[in-house]
Structure 1
Amino acid sequence: MTEQQFLAVLAPLIEEITGNAFSQEQLDVTFGDLDIDSLNQIEIISRIEDEFDCHIEDSTLRTIRTPRGLLDHISKSTSPA
């Protein structure tokens, strides 16, 4: 999965939830600073998991603070062995 593929899925989700546009420059901004509370963050991650056919453990979910953190984790878990 490329960063562009990730953004193509993530940007519309964030816009739907917050009403604000999301761009590549915001990948390192915390979810909180993007006006995404913990419940919305869980919804976003769940939908990303469905889209990219992956699963993120609950213990890992608590460590993901930014969209880039989510991208990095999913990239590692979906890369070919």
Structure 2
Amino acid sequence: MAEFSLAGLEEIIRQSAGEDDMAGVAESRDVTFDDLGFDSLALLEIVNRIERTYHVKLPEDDLTAVRTPNALVAFVNERLKESAA
């Protein structure tokens, strides 16, 4: 099973948002996406790329509680564990 990491999130953010300055996601892992300047459309693109790259379904209803990079990494890893079982 592949594990999703903050480095993986940084790469997906670069690919989807073109944010070269997001190399600091690891340092901002507990800052909300809103405070980092990501709107709902940017987050939707990031989630879509995660789903395609990691072959995992991330239910939109469950994503509403995911507010930080750290929470997103944990959420994705939990879904990956569930899909591997």
Quickly name the TM-score band, shorter chain normalised. Answer: 0.7 to 0.9
Q: Which residue of structure 2 aligns with residue 20 of structure 1? A: 21
Residue of structure 2 aligned with 1:30, choices 29, 32, 38: 32
Structure 1: gaps of 5 or more residues? none
Contact 2:6 2:69 in 1 (8 A): no
Question: Counterparts of 1:1-81 in structure 2 under 5 Å?
Answer: 1=3, 5-16=4-15, 17=17, 18-23=19-24, 24-79=26-81, 80-81=84-85
Find runs of 4+ consecutive structure 1 residues off by over 6 angstroms. Answer: none
SS at match of 2:12: helix
Percent identity reads 32
Contact 2:6 2:70 in 1 (8 A): no
Instruction: Give the CA deviation at 1:70.
Output: 1.1
SS at match of 1:21: helix
Change in 2 beyond 3 A, CA 1:42/1:64 = same
Instruction: Give the CA deviation at 1:9.
Output: 2.5
User: Deviation digits for residues 35-72 of structure 1, max 9, x if unmatched?
Assistant: 11110011011101111111111211211111111111
Alignment-mate amino acid for residue 43 of structure 2:
Q
What is the RMSD of the two structures over their aligned residues, measured on CA atoms?
1.8
Greater relative contact order structure (CA < 8 Å, 6+ sep): 2
